[in-house]
């Protein structure tokens, strides 16, 4: 399926029914060093019928992003070899959803200022994570 505009509600219905082939072709990259938080993000992605690829460092993300296409990136704001800014730069025009253990307004605004699509506090609420994931996918593939 080519990147063609779909009405918002039609897109989400197709996503729920796994009929948006373009989404299945591109996995979601999850960049996180915390196994529990990473597992929760993987679960949210898989509930949408999508594949998840995980890594724990900016260098690993760089290698993965250079060799494969992804639909979007879910990234922790604290990484062993970089930060959110590094990940957003690597992702280019791909949506990056930042998640953090620090549920602080300043951290949220900083992530958005750096170019993040959105911000999720950890541990993530499954419904909220799925909603943000759907919005990011709609921005990339639905419009």
Predicted pLDDT at 97: 92
- List the helix and strand counts (H, then E) for the chain: 7, 7
pLDDT of res. 54: 96
Rounded-to-integer distance, Cα 18 and Cα 11, Å: 10
pLDDT band at 119 (very low <50, low <70, confident <90, very high): confident
- Condensed to tens digits (0 to 9), the pLDDT of residues 2-39 reads 334 445 455 556 555 554 555 566 789 999 988 888 88
Which pTM was predicted?
0.79
Residue-averaged pLDDT of the chain: 80
Contact (Cβ atoms closer than 8 angstroms) between residue 80 and residue 101: no
For residues 114 and 85, the answer to whether their CB atoms sit within 8 Å is yes
pLDDT score recorded for residue 21: 56
pLDDT computed for residue 3 by the predictor: 35
pLDDT tens digits, 97-118:
998 877 778 878 888 999 999 8
* Per-residue confidence (pLDDT) for residue 115, from 0 to 100: 93
Q: CATH number of the domain at 8-142, please?
A: 3.40.50.2300
Residue 66 has pLDDT above 70, yes or no: yes
Q: What is the model's pLDDT at position 69?
A: 87
Domain chopping of the chain, boundaries: 8-142
β-pair partners for 29: 53, 73
CB 83 within 8 A of CB 38: no
């Amino acid at each position: 399926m080519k990147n063609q505009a779909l009405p918002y509600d039609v897109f989400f219905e197709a996503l729920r029914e796994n009929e948006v082939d373009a989404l299945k072709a591109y996995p979601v990259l999850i960049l996180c060093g915390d196994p529990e938080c990473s597992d929760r993000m993987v679960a949210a992605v898989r509930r949408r019928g999508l594949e998840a690829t995980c890594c724990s460092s900016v260098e690993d993300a760089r290698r993965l992003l250079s060799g494969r296409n992804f639909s979007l990136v879910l990234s922790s704001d604290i990484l062993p070899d970089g930060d959110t800014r590094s990940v957003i730069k690597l992702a280019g025009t791909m949506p990056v959803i930042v998640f953090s253990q620090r549920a602080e307004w300043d951290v949220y605004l900083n992530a958005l200022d750096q170019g993040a699509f959105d911000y999720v506090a950890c541990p993530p609420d499954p419904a909220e994570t799925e909603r943000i994931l759907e919005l990011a996918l709609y921005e990339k593939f639905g419009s």
